[in-house]
Amino acid sequence: MHVFEDILNQNRPIRLLTTLFNNKTIPHALLFTGVKGVGKKRCSIAFAMLCNCTDLRFLSGTDNEPRVNPCGHCSSCKKIKSGNHPDIIIVEPSGTYIRIDQIRNLCRLLALRPHEAHLRVVIISDAQALTTEAGNALLKELEEPPSGTLFILTAPQKSDLLPTVLSRSQVIGFNPFSLNDLISILKSRHGANHNDALIMAAMAGGSLSTAITMWKSKNRIDFIHQRKWLINFVNNCIISEPSPDMLFASALRLAKNKEFFLDSLKVIKSWLRDLVIYKYSPEKIFNKDMTNEVKEISENIAEEPLLCGIKVVDNAQKKILANSALRLTAEIMIIKLARV
């Protein structure tokens, strides 16, 4: 069983992890960064399997043949894969946040000796959701990590974490999927036709799980309509002068829930990116089904306001991930977009 080979498009992160393992240089804390849905959590679990695999055939790597995969079928691998290993601990947001009580419970567990693992692994998924109090409590564990314990944190980007937590973690970046890779996977593995695959891939912002979720959703047509509305909205903001009523109505629509808002920002950002990219490398745009519209707008608007618009969207994304008020964030973003 080639566990890591099932994780697509992440050869470099996997190579770094297996090198750390084979060189016996695993740090106390790793931070996996990258957009949602590129394999950060799956890779965390696979690495926990590798560090605790008990199949002797996989423990005899040499300098010429370093070990690069857990066996996948020993007792330890099976327990980790099924989520039943007592020493592989996963902490995820409870609702919007990872709260102080969750980290206190974790600290109590870590005060005990591992049950059976060679290396106990704590996976803190979506670490950007740590409250300040929870982050400070975790920091105490990172400063004096329990013996035989590895922390793996996942987050969209380094700047989402407290600097003190970041400084104690070795960062490994995960790649977003390219447009062509997403199209190929949707067509070959999920039966999408080319045009639908192109639209879903353009909307996914480099996230494989997002692309697959949109394709499988009963509301697939709604996603396509939403993309059209978002692009028209952005064009109105940067080309014309929309009325205040239209701006605030748009903000209300965007802010209906967090996931919807974040997915919408991916679409807006990819559109603004295409308007910039077209000026230099037209073949590299995401929204290829709208090439003519990209061309027309790109040729009639300067690069600087487009780059300002991307920064505005980036700032809104950071505020949402930091759990700022959705409607206020949407209103501020939209007003700034209309002024670029």
So what's the pLDDT on residue 66? 66
pLDDT per residue as tens digits for the range 209-230: 989 988 888 677 778 888 899 9
So what's the pLDDT on residue 10? 93
| Average pLDDT of the residues in 310-337 | 90
pLDDT per residue as tens digits for the range 271-313: 999 999 999 999 989 898 899 999 999 999 999 999 999 999 9
Report which secondary-structure segment, H or E, holds 35: none
What percentage of the chain carries pLDDT values higher than 90?
Answer: 60
d(CA 325, CA 318) in angstroms, rounded, equals: 12
So what's the pLDDT on residue 305? 92
d(CA 90, CA 88) in angstroms, rounded, equals: 7
212's torsion region: left (phi>0), alpha (psi -120 to 50) or beta?
alpha
Binned at pLDDT 50, 70 and 90, residue 145 comes out as confident
Binned at pLDDT 50, 70 and 90, residue 257 comes out as confident
Q: Is the alpha carbon torsion for 243, 245, 249, 255 positive or negative?
A: positive
For 98, list phi and psi in degrees, rounded to 5: -95, 115
| Average pLDDT of the residues in 317-325 | 85
| Average pLDDT of the residues in 252-275 | 90
So what's the pLDDT on residue 213? 87
Q: 151 or 195, which is more confident?
A: 151
Q: Is the alpha carbon torsion for 79, 139, 148, 52 positive or negative?
A: positive
* Amino acid (1-letter code) at residue 61: G
Of 2-11, 78-87, 197-206, 217-226, which range is least confident? 217-226
Q: How many helices (H) and strands (E) does the chain have?
A: 15, 5
Report the alpha-carbon angle 61-66-68, nearest 5.
105
Instruction: Provide CB contacts within 8 A for 122, sequence distance 6+.
Output: 89, 91, 106, 110, 149, 150, 151, 152
SS3 call for 289: helix
DSSP code, position 280: T
d(CA 69, CA 22) in angstroms, rounded, equals: 11
Tokens standing for 70? 């857990």
Q: 322 or 324, which is more confident?
A: 324
What percentage of the chain carries pLDDT values higher than 70?
Answer: 96
> Is pLDDT above 60 for 63?
no
| Average pLDDT of the residues in 39-61 | 83
Residue with tokens 């692994």: 121
| Average pLDDT of the residues in 237-241 | 84
So what's the pLDDT on residue 202? 86
Binned at pLDDT 50, 70 and 90, residue 316 comes out as very high
70's torsion region: left (phi>0), alpha (psi -120 to 50) or beta?
beta
So what's the pLDDT on residue 149? 96
> Is pLDDT above 80 for 322?
no
Binned at pLDDT 50, 70 and 90, residue 64 comes out as low
Residue with tokens 């567990």: 109
Tokens standing for 39? 């394999």
pTM, 2 dp: 0.81
